[in-house]
């Protein structure tokens, strides 16, 4: 029996593509590390057991190739990631130091495969949006916003967000990137810091918090001036205060910039009770951002990100998947393979704590007014030169969606790939007749047992600078006045290179997972500057 779903009245029906690769939950950063890819599998288990699979198409994206990754990342860096393993890492000591691999970003079995799955989902999601094959694409394994062109950072190795945005820019004149992770989206901001083709907007904790970037005065440079917006927050912000600044700012951004597509990084380390975060959002407060952005009816790419209390990460992303499809999930969590993690109440909600909100009304109003002033300097949507869409290998695959048809066993009347893409028609009352739901689910009750806490040991790593460093030690990577490094090479609009979310100080959290791959088809506006990427 599936969980309860309530239709949201007045919602226009959206075509949703959902990307999930079952292999992603099998990767492990190492004992005691807060980033746990298993959270993606936990979320997927909720999505399936609530019955959301009936309302959207489910895809396993083709993993991103080395060539596709080098649309943003340097050749040497991608080659290094593809070669290093726990067994040969002692032969790459110099490269590890240069690429910031180790400590926060450890070498683990299947590292490159993990990056490929994450990036593949975001790229293919972007490609499907560009080809008008869906209205919303969801890749919770994506959102790794801290990765730089030639450097890992904050649990992120390959920046799937930048790769996805570059794919969107082949077809869309302007792309808006919104980041609600507790950490500043430094990798993405840095990648697009000098172009007006992408506007980045990040709401994050600032002040002695990883990655130490994201000041209010960091607004972009050159052609990209005023196209990077940062809203620095203090500890403990609650739902009402977050909504009071998020909605007016995004409303004004939509009016001033008029993006053709939107990418929303939904890092859940901004939730109350996160192991590395320090904000105080409830599940509904976090999900309100998704609902509000969705209301603008723009092509929307939803990505994961940080989030280190696994039971809350999976609850929130499952709930937001439901919102994408136009339903609100019921409060009682259906029995699933991770059911014991959600005790003792087995409820979907993530409630705010009684932590003090250090963001006064006067502070939030002052910061909001400054951000609005920056927006007024934009002066309307920038124009873009028209040109043919450059073709990439992904185009052939996207044009022939049934190219693997010949490999299907002719005795298998309905291949699983076909069943995954089946969307149940509205008004259809019965469950899918292709599945025996009673046999598919595990109906054992775990209510007798206490829930086991979902994330590893709370052990901190003893590293000098990073997302898990001790309070008071701020790291400054990235572009802008708040970063101590200069932009990695002059980033022209063609050399767009973004990174991932990060923020500041005490208990830090990391950016996310990603999955996706592939570019999109032809013919819509694109200018030379964003058609190419810095290789």
Q: Which residues are catalytic?
A: 146
**234 Cβ contact partners less than 8 Å away, ≥ 6 residues apart:** 205, 206, 207, 358, 359, 363
DSSP letter for each residue of 195-243: -SSEEEEEEEE-SS-TB----TT----GGGTTSEEEEEE-TT--HHHHH
Place of tokens 């004004």: 252
3-state secondary structure of 156: strand
Pairing of the two strands 501-502 and 184-185: antiparallel
Element of type H or E holding 314: helix 310-325
Two tokens, residue 518: 């592939």
Q: What are the backbone angles phi and psi of residue 107, rounded to the nearest 5°?
A: -90, 125
Q: 246 near 286, Cβ under 8 Å?
A: no
SS3 70: coil
Burial readout 306-345 (b: 16 or more C-beta within 10 A, e: otherwise): bbbbbbbbbbbbbbbbbbbbbbbbbeebbbbebbbbbbee
- What DSSP letter does each residue of 477-526 carry, written as one string? -SSSTT-SSPPSS---GGG-----EEB-SSS--------B-----S-S--
What residues have CB less than 8 Å from 421, skipping those under 6 apart?
Answer: 57, 58, 59
Q: Are 183 and 518 in contact (CB under 8 A)?
A: no
Which tokens hold the place of 61?
Answer: 């994206």
Residue 261 Cα distances to 258, 318, 495, angstroms: 9, 23, 20
Evaluate the CA torsion angle 50, 52, 54, 58 in order and state its sign: negative
The 8-class DSSP code of residue 72 comes to: T
Helices (H) and strands (E) in the chain, counts: 15, 12
Annotate 408-444 with DSSP letters as a single string: S-TT-SS-HHHHHT--PPTT--SPPTTS-HHHHS---
Residue 347, strand partner residues: 332
Verify cis geometry, omega within 30 degrees of 0, for the bond prior to 344. yes
């Amino acid at each position: 029996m599936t969980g309860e779903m309530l239709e949201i009245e007045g919602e226009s029906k959206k075509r949703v593509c959902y990307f999930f690769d079952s292999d992603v939950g099998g990767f492990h950063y190492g004992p005691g590390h807060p980033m746990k890819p298993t959270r993606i599998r936990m979320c997927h288990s909720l999505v399936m057991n609530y019955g959301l699979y009936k309302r959207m198409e489910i895809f396993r994206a083709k993993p991103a190739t080395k060539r596709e990754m080098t649309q943003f990342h340097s050749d040497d860096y991608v080659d290094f990631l593809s070669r290093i393993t726990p067994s040969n890492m002692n032969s790459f000591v110099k490269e590890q130091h240069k690429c910031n691999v180790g400590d926060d970003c450890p070498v683990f079995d299947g590292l490159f495969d993990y990056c490929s799955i994450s990036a593949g989902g975001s790229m293919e999601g972007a490609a499907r949006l560009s080809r008008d094959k869906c209205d919303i694409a969801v890749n919770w394994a994506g959102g790794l916003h801290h990765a730089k062109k030639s450097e890992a950072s904050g649990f992120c190795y390959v920046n799937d967000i930048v790769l996805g945005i570059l794919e969107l820019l082949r077809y869309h004149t302007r792309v808006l990137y919104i980041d609600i992770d507790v950490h500043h989206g430094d990798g993405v901001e840095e990648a697009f810091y000098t172009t007006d083709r992408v506007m980045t907007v990040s709401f994050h904790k600032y002040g002695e918090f990883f990655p130490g970037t994201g000041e209010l005065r960091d607004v972009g440079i050159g052609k990209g001036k005023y196209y990077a917006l940062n809203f620095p927050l203090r500890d403990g912000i609650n739902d009402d205060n977050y909504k009071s600044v998020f909605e007016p700012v995004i409303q004004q951004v939509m009016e001033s910039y008029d993006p053709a597509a939107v990418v929303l990084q939904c890092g859940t380390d901004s939730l109350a009770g996160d192991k590395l975060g320090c904000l105080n959002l409830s599940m509904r407060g976090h999900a309100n951002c998704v609902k509000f952005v969705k209301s603008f009816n723009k092509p929307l790419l939803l990505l994961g990100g940080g989030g280190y209390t696994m039971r809350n990460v999976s609850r929130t992303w499952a709930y937001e998947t439901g919102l994408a499809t136009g339903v609100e999930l019921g409060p009682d969590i259906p029995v699933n393979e991770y059911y014991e993690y959600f005790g003792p109440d087995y409820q979907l909600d993530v409630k705010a704590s009684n932590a003090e909100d250090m963001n006064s009304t006067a502070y939030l109003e002052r910061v909001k007014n400054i951000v609005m002033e920056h927006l007024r300097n934009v002066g309307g949507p920038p124009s873009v030169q028209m040109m043919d869409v450059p073709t990439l290998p992904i185009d052939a695959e996207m044009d022939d969606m049934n190219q693997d048809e010949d490999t299907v066993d002719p005795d298998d009347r309905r291949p699983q790939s076909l069943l995954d893409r089946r969307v149940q028609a509205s008004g259809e009352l019965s469950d899918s007749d292709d599945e025996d739901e009673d046999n598919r689910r595990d109906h054992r009750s775990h209510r007798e047992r206490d829930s086991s806490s979902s994330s590893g040991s709370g052990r901190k790593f003893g590293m000098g600078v990073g997302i898990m460093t001790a309070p008071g030690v701020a790291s400054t990577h990235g572009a802008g006045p708040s970063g101590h490094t200069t932009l990695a090479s002059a980033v022209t609009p063609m050399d767009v290179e973004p990174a991932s979310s990060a923020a500041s100080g005490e208990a830090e959290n990391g950016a996310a997972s990603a999955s996706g791959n592939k570019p999109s088809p032809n013919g819509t506006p694109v200018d030379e500057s964003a058609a190419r990427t810095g290789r």
